[in-house]
Every structure is written in structure tokens, then in C-alpha cells.
């Protein structure tokens, strides 16, 4: 994957088991929230699958829900442009992803080509977050939650075509509810079938 802002290319291993993609780096999440994060999310896979096998989805009529969990291995600073507010995603925070496929097919065109019946998947995830510098709060750090929802489009036997955030929110019960805005889109630039 290549970050067009920095020109940085990241290569990683994708793990598969019996047709399921079981370990897929969450670099896409880092790219979608790059306006707020000080660096890429470095995570360790815990449980679940990132993409069930084709046969599992077909047997369920392309209507399926599944979960994946990752552990953050390196603390990340979260910036809020235009404010003095900062937050931290601490080491050992758990990222809990929920994926939902509802048999929605849409035409998607990306640099890699046109796909007339791409599968739309709704993804939500959340992780604990510690906020610093909240007005009228005396504690040095206040626990909250960062929640994000995104739409992703996939093509069977190709992979992820496009991803974009539909909502993101930092929430501290009784103290703060701050929506984050991002217009970033991740898309497939090229695809070469394997042997």
C-alpha cells in the first residue's frame, strides 16, 4: 500500500486460512484517519477474520456479519486541528471491528478499473482513547471512546476497491461529543492477478 501524501510504501503479509483472510494490516484505517493521527497504527492480530471465504458468503446469500480484534502495539497521538485538545491511543488498546454485508452491489470505478457489481460492506470500529486538555476538567487524562463507521467496496477474487469514512466520533460520557470530519478515500490503483 502506498500513502500518496508521504509517498511511503508499506508492504506486509496477508494471512489466509481455508479461504478466509484472517490477518490483514489495518493500514486502511490509518489512511482514512491520517488527518488526525501522528503515524500509522501498528497493531497485532487477536481474533476473528477480516474477510470470510467466498463460499461462506455465498452460502449465506451475501448477508453476513463478523468481527475482528486487533491490539495496538505502539501509542498514537490524535490531533484535533484548530484546537488545543490532544488525545492518545495507548499501547494495548483493543480495536474492535464489526463488519456487515447486506447483499448490496454497486458500480464502483477506481484507478484500477470499473467494477459493475462491487460488494458494499459496512465497517464500524471503536477503541478506548485518553483525552488531555479538556476545558473544565481537572483530571490529567479522561477516558473516552473513538468510534468510526466506514463503507468499503470489494470485488471477489480482487479485494478492496474503495473505502471511505461515513462518520467518526470522539465521545467522553457527560463531557464531550466531538465529531471528526474526513474526506479521505482509499482506492485500488492497480491489480495484477497472481499465477
Parent domain of 58: 15-185
Is residue 117, in this structure, part of any structural domain at all? yes
Please give the grid coordinates belonging to residue 65. 456479519
Determine the Cα–Cα distance for residues 53 and 76; give it in Å rounded to an integer. 32
- Given the DSSP bridges, would you call strands 15-17 and 142-155 parallel, antiparallel or unpaired? unpaired
Is residue 25, in this structure, part of any structural domain at all? yes
Per-residue pLDDT at 137 exceeds 70: no
Per-residue pLDDT at 138 exceeds 70: no
Question: Out of 5-14, 27-36, 40-49, 76-85, which region has the weakest mean confidence (pLDDT)?
Answer: 5-14
Q: How many domains does the chain have?
A: 1
Is residue 190, in this structure, part of any structural domain at all? no
Per-residue pLDDT at 140 exceeds 60: no
Query: pLDDT higher for 31 or 5?
Result: 31
Is residue 6, in this structure, part of any structural domain at all? no
pLDDT of residue 170: 85
Determine the Cα–Cα distance for residues 99 and 152; give it in Å rounded to an integer. 10
Question: Out of 17-31, 111-125, 135-149, 160-174, which region has the weakest mean confidence (pLDDT)?
Answer: 135-149
Residue whose C-alpha is closest to residue 124's, from 154, 157, 146, 156: 146
Counting Cα atoms < 13 Å in the Cβ hemisphere of 138 gives 0
- The answer to whether 40 and 32 have CB atoms below 8 angstroms apart is no
Beta-bridged to residue 65, according to DSSP, are 100
**Average of per-residue pLDDT across 35-64:** 88
Is residue 179, in this structure, part of any structural domain at all? yes
Is residue 57, in this structure, part of any structural domain at all? yes
Q: Grid coordinates 463507521 are at which residue? A: 149
Amino acid at each position: 500500500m502506498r500513502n500518496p501524501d508521504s509517498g511511503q510504501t508499506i508492504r506486509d503479509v496477508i494471512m489466509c486460512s481455508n479461504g478466509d483472510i484472517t490477518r490483514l494490516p489495518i493500514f486502511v484505517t490509518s489512511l482514512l484517519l491520517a488527518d488526525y493521527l501522528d503515524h500509522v497504527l501498528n497493531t497485532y492480530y487477536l481474533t476473528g477474520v477480516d474477510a470470510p471465504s467466498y463460499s461462506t458468503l455465498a452460502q449465506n446469500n451475501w448477508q453476513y456479519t463478523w468481527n475482528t480484534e486487533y491490539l495496538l502495539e505502539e501509542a498514537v497521538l490524535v490531533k484535533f486541528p484548530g484546537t488545543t485538545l490532544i488525545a492518545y491511543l495507548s499501547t494495548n488498546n483493543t480495536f474492535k471491528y464489526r463488519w456487515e454485508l447486506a447483499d448490496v452491489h454497486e458500480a464502483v470505478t477506481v484507478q484500477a478499473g470499473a467494477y459493475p457489481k462491487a460488494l458494499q460492506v459496512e465497517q464500524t470500529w471503536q477503541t478506548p482513547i485518553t483525552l488531555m486538555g479538556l476545558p473544565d476538567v481537572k483530571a490529567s487524562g479522561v477516558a473516552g471512546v473513538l468510534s468510526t463507521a466506514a463503507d468499503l467496496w470489494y470485488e471477489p477474487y480482487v479485494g478492496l476497491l474503495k473505502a471511505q469514512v461515513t462518520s467518526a466520533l470522539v465521545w467522553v460520557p457527560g463531557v464531550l461529543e466531538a465529531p471528526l470530519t474526513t474526506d479521505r478515500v482509499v482506492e485500488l490503483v492497480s491489480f495484477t492477478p497472481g499465477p
